Amino acid sequence: MTDSPVTQFGAPDAPHCDPSTARVTIIPAPLEYSVCYMKGTEHGPQAILDASSQMELYDEELDCCPIEVGVYTRPALDYRSMDHATALKITGDAVREVLERKQLPFTLGGEHSLSAPPIAAVRNYFPDLTVVHIDAHGDLRSEYEGTPLSHASIERRVVDMGIPLTEIGIRSFSPEEAEFMQTRPNVAVVWGHQLARGTAVIPWERLSKHTYVTIDLDAIDPSEMPAVGTPEPGGLHWYQLLELFRGICRRTTIVGMDVVELCPMEGQTRADFLAAKLVYKMIGYRFCDK
């Protein structure tokens, strides 16, 4: 363990973090404005970076070191003394810079509301974009607690952008969201209970050539991922999530992704480590799966 905070994902054994040659840029986004239950997700990105320094960098499943594709971690976005809308704007700007360098933007949250600007930025580059949203919650409210920028409305903003949306792992849905689904928006939902019972059919045909994947860590079962602001029972398990993500990688090109809502808890380093390892597995499947 080092005392100083880790600044590069996978450090200290990560020599492959040159920003000019990297294929992935990690964007730490410690955003926390509209959190409604457990607070602390602003510390999520740093906890992931810290835990990443404890990972082995060889992937036994892929028989390679995914870090070698080049993974640069830019300095964390600084939201201090900024309102929520401005914070979202600079998040989108950061993603745009990464896209201009022809790299994959990988944002680490922070609360889920941060996903909207990256998705909008990526869609500007890839107009056929579809979004896969892996989460316990539908996040389809038109607004929540008085703001349309809320983490609980993030996927509604995706629908507003006219982007086809596929939600997976959902097991917490409000009456408003159920009513919204009756309007037949361009949204498909794979429920948590269907995954648990083995009756889920993933609508792969909805994926276009280019896909953005957003993973809210509360999609994972709280027994494995306790450190989230709004835990829900009955979630995905580690290998189930990996298989799902790998399946997406095999059918479409992922051009942007994020992992959000880690809310580090005292004594729950397993959760930080799971998040870090998930990020690394995602990079591996995206770039190294033959």
Closer of 212 and 287 to Mn ion (Cβ): 212
Closer of 11 and 38 to Mn ion (Cβ): 38
Closer of 232 and 272 to Mn ion (Cβ): 232
**Burial 150-186, CB ≥16 within 10 A → b, else e:** bbbbbbbbbbeeebbbbbbbbbbbeeebeebeeeeee
Please state the separation of Cα 265 from the chain's center in Å: 19
User: Whole-number minimum distance, CB 218 to Mn ion, in Å?
Assistant: 4
**Cα–Cα distance measured from residue 123 to residue 212, given in angstroms and rounded to the nearest whole number:** 9
Closer of 27 and 170 to Mn ion (Cβ): 170
User: Whole-number minimum distance, CB 137 to Mn ion, in Å?
Assistant: 4
CB 116 within 8 A of CB 158: yes
**Cα–Cα distance measured from residue 260 to residue 39, given in angstroms and rounded to the nearest whole number:** 13
User: Whole-number minimum distance, CB 64 to Mn ion, in Å?
Assistant: 32
Q: Which amino acid is at 162?
A: G
**Cα–Cα distance measured from residue 97 to residue 171, given in angstroms and rounded to the nearest whole number:** 35
Closer of 112 and 281 to Mn ion (Cβ): 112
User: Whole-number minimum distance, CB 59 to Mn ion, in Å?
Assistant: 27
**Beta-bridge mates of residue 253:** 210
CB 189 within 8 A of CB 167: yes
Q: Under 8 Å CB-to-CB from 254, ≥6 apart: which residues?
A: 104, 210, 211, 212, 213, 248, 286
User: Whole-number minimum distance, CB 67 to Mn ion, in Å?
Assistant: 28
User: Whole-number minimum distance, CB 159 to Mn ion, in Å?
Assistant: 16
Contacting residues toward Mn ion, per CB under 5 A: 135-137, 216, 218
DSSP reduced 3-state for 276: helix
Closer of 22 and 263 to Mn ion (Cβ): 263
User: Whole-number minimum distance, CB 60 to Mn ion, in Å?
Assistant: 30
